[in-house]
Structure 1
Amino acid sequence: MIQERKAWSLNGMLGILIIAILLAATVFSFIGQQFIIGGILLVVVITLGSGITIVQPNQSVVVIFLGKYMGTIRHEGIVVTVPFSLRRTISLRVRNFNSNKMKVNDVNGNPIEIAAVIVFKVIDSAKAVFDVDQYEKFVEIQSETAIRTVATKYPYDSFGEEQLTLRGNAEEVSNELTVELQERLKVAGVEVIEARLTHLAYSTEIAQAMLQRQQASAIISARKQIVDGAVGMVQDAIERIEKDGIVELDDERKVSMINNLLVSIVSEKGTQPVVNTGTLYQ
């Protein structure tokens, strides 16, 4: 694998000054009818001039001469490098890639729709140019492959079970996606800065059924919490009555009281109390 190295280069302003001096000497040589010297100087001027290149901020230039990698220029500005070389500009700026919405199956086999945004930049220009073909397309394909791989490891939702899920553990899933992508893209000299899920939903064909399942799970959880609270309240009420000596309750009356209190507290609709004023014959 090719490793990035520094290419030979000369300060551009100094190079232009040298070319200007040689060009002036060429003109005077032709005027003085020293055609051989003038021809040689003209060839030197053309040779140096062919090596002039401009490097923009946060860009690098990969220099190739006769099919051989000569090195990379990273410092910005105008420079003179290897004459008659092929120079390819690579952006080192941070970029985003938004994946398409993909339909995949989670670990439980449920079809879901998922998409992510990948933030990356090139850190090794030589690898980006020579180790992969069209590194932008390589990033796109590998990103979608990594998203599919991570999505199939987890369920969309746990429905009350204690486990990592795509919906409930977005931070952990994003971190794993970043690691998975970095492993795949390091061959292209690309650094993954961040990977985040931007879209996550059940596929349309099961969305309604899964919504009903979520609602049922939420109702069961809420009712369980209500019942647990009601039992505690009834227990506290009986203990206080007995402790303060307000009234003595036998087992039958305790059962009746517990039943009435639980119905009153747990019922979804307001209960109508029945007032017992005693019997006609005591």
Structure 2
Amino acid sequence: MKNKFILLILCGLLVVFAPAKVFGEIKNNNCYNCTIDSNLTDFDNGKYWIQKITYKNGETTTINPVDKFSFIMKNNNFIPNVDIQNEYGYSLAPVRIIVEELGGQVEWDEQKNTASIEYKNNKIKMSTGDKNAVINDRVVVLPIAVQMIDDRMNAPLRALAEIFRADISYNIDIMPFGNPLISIDTRTKKVTKEEAVKLASDAMERAYKTFLKNNRYVDGSDTSNIVLNEIRQKIDDIEYKDELAGYWILKGPYEILVDKSTGDLLFKYGTNGNGGSGSYAEGICSVNVNDLDVFVAGYFAG
């Protein structure tokens, strides 16, 4: 009962992470929030707690600490619940879903078990059981053969991305429980690593000035001053940490994701899969430098 009560309190805290429009329009499905699923979790006798990821578009994914799940995003927008299979160290993805997400068209020849793909004046053919793909009459050898899985043609995801001239990255530090995040990006990159650090530093300065007006947490007490000094130091020390195909990842008051194409800023908040507490929450949210509670989560609450 105590854990369920904590979950009710958590609902109020999640307002901190409500998506906001900052540094231009942030649309589509680039944010998520992960919390304990109180309906599926047996708090008293369960071996582990079940987490529910809710994306910005309202779709959900259920995960646990045992079963691995591969997440995928295209141009920094999550594509929920794509069935990614791992074979011999390669990620296999449904061809039709990936091609259509990238803007291509697919026709399926059931008799020949062949997919004909059209994308930006390019014609591509793949056949199940074959490692050879034909691109504009040129043969390209795939690392493993195309396969039929649950009545869907699946192909190596990295090879698909490279065929479509898309950037692709693989990361295990963003999503809960170290689950892999595969990022595919087809956009023109306009923001350099150095520009990303400058954008984030300027934004955090503005956010900090806003937060100093929050009389609820900035109250002159020793506890408040210690936390403020910690936030201040992390703002001063913002630096590059890693990157995805479409984001620069910076180390700051939270992990800061800077869109390589638009310069939009997002926070990665919470700990990676540490769901042992009823107040657990993590996710990605857009940065609102005018939010009085911008630095509450993880420092003063949650």
TM-score scaled by length of structure 2: 0.24
Q: More relative contact order in 1 or in 2 (CA 8 Å, sep 6+)?
A: 2
